Amino acid sequence: MKKLAVLMLSAGLLLGAANAEAVDFKVKGSFQFVMDYVNGGNFMGKTRDGRNVQGQQWAPSRQQRDEFESVQRVHMQIEAAASENLSSMLFLEIGEQRWGMGSQGGAMGADGNVVKIKRAYIDWIAPNTDLSFRMGIIGIRMPGFCIDSPILDTDLAGLTASYQFNENVSLGAGWLRLYNDNFAGYADGRNNAYMDNFDLGFLTLPISADGIAVTPWFMGGGMGPNSLRAGGTNADIYTFKNYSIQGLDGLSARYGLFPAAYSTSRGNKWLSQYSAMFWGGITTKITTFDPFVISADFVYGNVDNGYRALSRSGWYGMLAAEYKLDWGTPGIYGWYFSGDDNNPNNGSEALPYLATSNNLNNSLSSFGYRGSPLVGGGKGVLGMNPNGTWGVGARLRKMSFLEDLTHTLRLHYFGGTHAPGMAKYITGRTTLDGSGREVTRNYKDFNIFGTYLTTKDQGVEINFDTQYKVYENLRVDLELGYIHLWLDKGTWGRYENYAGNTLNTKDAWKATVNVIYTF
């Protein structure tokens, strides 16, 4: 009786609100089901001490999973539009739910508690202007025509604005709050929420004309010394301990903003002041010679963490060319990311990045670099993005010879851009740099967070993905992927105090079936 009264009261409130002012509600979403088999996800058949590696061990957060798993997830988007100038969006995510896992509601009896707010924001336009705003928990992605952004592509809290000057030029700007009020203070309770905000601002200038689109962009801001820390003892400020408040997809900010290993003459100095950072880039798409299309991206980034040894700066460039045919779109592409030198005392020379957990349309790869997988185990076994690598490849996208059936084939050869000398510090074989300074490790192996590849390491990846449109709203995908690494045994074979060559490499491959119902 009590539940019925609550329901009737809720219905009355909704009806009253509807009568007060008409609001147009729209609901859309998807049910996503994944059955996948992933083998060799960490590229080692045995651990360093000779034990067989079990399960997928997919790269982004080193979660050890079964080689075969069934997973599901539900997305629900509810839009409430008061007018063409004012609307809101609530994006709910239910899952992921691994079939059979009780804590996720996938075991017998179900009743899991896995409902999450993925996005929640309002859109509004300033009266009598072309200035529009979006504020709340939003999805944000820095510009890129070749691939999804290798810098920032995720959900976070922020305020964005855009102004349309004319049909060819617009301006975008925003303030993003990545972290704040998460630091629990030291073990004695001091400094709770002290200097732990992480804020960024950005500007984009999309320009289009006949046959060409160009977007220069800039992003910069500051990170408090406690922004990525959950808490701990005073001694923890000198290490990477308690860097645990980041999300499901792993410690992206930790690995993307700091060097793989560092040394300093001041002892184990850690952050004591705000870190300053910026990124700038330009992305271009040329369609003048359509159906021949050329895309190009360039990005430079710098992070000053207060000490030279802890700082990071680097760049990335990519070029892609495609030719649209009636039956598909063949193309070629090449990319290059800067890499570390062999000196752990002068900071990192790799491009810094933040989080790229929403790269679900990445045209580069559907296995190695988090491409189209939904919730399966192949979430980027090489990494969240191609940072620290170079590569060349060819693809055939959207091949179709039968109605409602399309295919995508990708093949690329790649290698690392980091100096081989850095591996001895990462693996712990050498604990002091050339000047006798102690080295602190962020990465501890070639596969600790994705892969850390040197100029002596190469690999090849093949993807073959098929989509079948069963009905207007039902799609079945089959994704096949294979990756082989040629790791240099002289570089990675020795590890800490293990004698001899203990590197036991293994190929990675996957077979995934996705069933997606959209409404």
In a domain, 11, yes or no: no
Q: What is the CATH number of the domain that holds 422?
A: 2.40.160.10
In a domain, 1, yes or no: no
pLDDT band for 269, please (50, 70, 90 cuts).
low
* pLDDT tens-digit series, residues 302-340: 999 888 998 999 999 999 999 999 999 999 999 999 999
In a domain, 9, yes or no: no
User: What average pLDDT does the segment 357-363 reach?
Assistant: 68
> Per the structure, how many domains does the chain have?
1
**pLDDT score, position 374:** 65
Q: Are strands 170-179 and 153-164 parallel, antiparallel or unpaired?
A: antiparallel
In a domain, 29, yes or no: no
**Other Cβ atoms closer than 10 A to 46:** 14
Domain residues for the domain of 280 are 34-260+269-518
pLDDT band for 6, please (50, 70, 90 cuts).
very low
Helix (H) or strand (E) holding 9: helix 2-20
| Angle made by CA atoms 189, 190, 191, in degrees to the nearest 5 | 125
Confidence check: pLDDT of 490 > 60: yes
Instruction: Classify residue 41 by burial, with Cβ atoms within 10 Å: 0-12, 13-18, 19+.
Output: buried
Least confident of 28-42, 73-87, 463-477: 28-42
**pLDDT score, position 383:** 85
Least confident of 6-15, 153-162, 480-489: 6-15
Confidence check: pLDDT of 224 > 70: yes
**pLDDT score, position 13:** 43
DSSP state of 51: P
Report the share of the chain in percent with pLDDT over 90: 59
Confidence check: pLDDT of 492 > 50: yes
In a domain, 309, yes or no: yes
In a domain, 311, yes or no: yes
Tokens of 44: 């080692």
Confidence check: pLDDT of 53 > 60: yes
In a domain, 65, yes or no: yes
In a domain, 10, yes or no: no
Note the pTM of the prediction, 2 decimals. 0.90
Question: Residues near 87 by Cβ (< 8 Å), separated by ≥ 6?
Answer: 79, 80, 81, 122, 123, 124
Q: Are strands 212-223 and 198-204 parallel, antiparallel or unpaired?
A: antiparallel
* pLDDT tens-digit series, residues 135-152: 999 999 999 999 889 999
**pLDDT score, position 188:** 64
Gap between the Cα atoms of 42 and 65, Å rounded: 12
pLDDT band for 190, please (50, 70, 90 cuts).
low
**pLDDT score, position 85:** 96
Tokens of 150: 């290798």
User: What average pLDDT does the segment 87-108 reach?
Assistant: 90
Per DSSP, the residues of 74-85 read EEEEEEEEEETT
Least confident of 110-119, 280-289, 341-350, 382-391: 110-119
Confidence check: pLDDT of 169 > 80: yes
